[in-house]
Amino acid sequence: MKNGIVKNGIIYGPNGSGKSNMGLAVFDIANHLSHKWKKPDYYVNFVNASNMGEVVDFEYTFKFNGTILEYAYSKRIQNSNVRIVKERLLLDGEEMLYKDEQTAKLSGSLSLPDTAIDGFQKSANNISLINFLLISLPLPKEHFLLLLRDFVENMHFFRSLDNREFIGLKEGGSNVEEYLINNGLVDEFSEFLKTVSRQDFNFAKPVPGDKMLFCVFGETKIPFALIASTGTLNLELQFFWLCEMKNASFVFVDEFDAFYHHELSFAICKQLFKGEMQTFVSTHDTFLLTNDLLRPDCFFILNNKKIKAICDLTDKELRLGHNLEKLYRGGTFGVCDEITA
């Protein structure tokens, strides 16, 4: 917990319960407001296929320097395109802006000429009212719209299962090994592997123009990618994002430990959670369900279309000495069909 907000959390749930979809739903706002890297196929796949004309609502609450910002919007699929049909933003309970398909209104502090509002309302390019204001208004530093924009621009979702995929934080893709070489991070990556997985790789010193890492065996150099296991290659990606996400605001790592031993998963969580950013991961590994890593109110179970902290799923008082993993497997929290990855 930090300032009354869950800073780090771990999300559990049976296969198919919606853990990945929940992460993607949270990041809809990044696709909606951010100019960073996006997954267009995720952005259009937000509505239940049985009712493609349904309007879907999204609501977010932010806390900036003690100020509460509430942003809500609704959208739907219209003529195979995504259309924003409503937006509303509250600042400490006061409505700052509202837009629907018939009206658009702003508070006095966000005043624009009536002709500008009328032109916005009649436009066919479906731009967000917030994006319109960010482009149109000169705003002072620390203005709530700039704080909102900066937070969303630095949100980051990633996973590495069949494909390496991410949303937000960066402008485009990267060659991970070329990034490590160009930024002088090869030795640091080697130490990272030793620390979290006790693997000792002897990397060749890169020369100008190198775009991949090589391991040295006597007089022989072999590409790291050819000898590293699937889990170790995922550690390479994890290290890359740990370097990149130092300035991230909110991070969601989906199935972050799909290829890791449980002790390695624990070590990676320690690395992820020590940063300043708000970080959530989804997993099936119950070894991580321990007071040594997080408090009980920071572990969540998603099941039957609801998500709750484990402390709210039992009448028992969860204390420091409790074995949370044993309680979970025993069905105390209502789900007992998980197995350690």
- The pLDDT value given to residue 137: 87
Mean pLDDT of 142-155: 93
- The pLDDT value given to residue 238: 83
Name the average pLDDT for the chain.
84
Radius of gyration of the chain (CA): 23
Each residue's pLDDT tens digit, 51-99: 888 999 999 999 998 899 999 999 988 777 788 889 999 999 999 999 8
CA end-to-end span of the chain, whole Å? 27
Closest Cα partner for 248 from 34, 44, 73, 40? 34
Residue 295 has pLDDT above 60, yes or no: yes
Each residue's pLDDT tens digit, 310-337: 989 888 888 777 888 888 888 888 765 4
Q: Which residues contact 128 (CB under 8 A, 6 or more apart)?
A: 32, 33, 73, 84, 87
- The pLDDT value given to residue 161: 53
Q: Compare 157 and 79 and report the one with higher pLDDT.
A: 157
- The pLDDT value given to residue 242: 84
- The pLDDT value given to residue 32: 80
| pTM (predicted TM-score) | 0.80
- The pLDDT value given to residue 271: 85
Cα–Cα separations (whole angstroms), residue 48 to 44, 54, 58, 324: 11, 8, 14, 35
What own/partner pairs with CB < 8 Å and gap ≥ 24 does 193-198 have? 193/232, 193/235, 195/267, 196/235, 196/264, 196/267, 196/268, 196/271, 197/231, 197/232, 197/235, 197/264, 197/267
From the number of C-beta atoms within 10 Å of its C-beta (0-12, 13-18, 19+), residue 336 rates as: exposed
DSSP label at residue 5: B
Closest Cα partner for 13 from 337, 243, 232? 337
- The pLDDT value given to residue 339: 40
Neighbours of 91 (CB within 10 A): 18
- Run of H or E residues at 242: helix 230-244
pLDDT band, residue 170 (cuts 50/70/90): low
- Which residues does residue 278 pair with via DSSP β-bridges, in sequence order? 250
Largest CA distance in the chain: 75
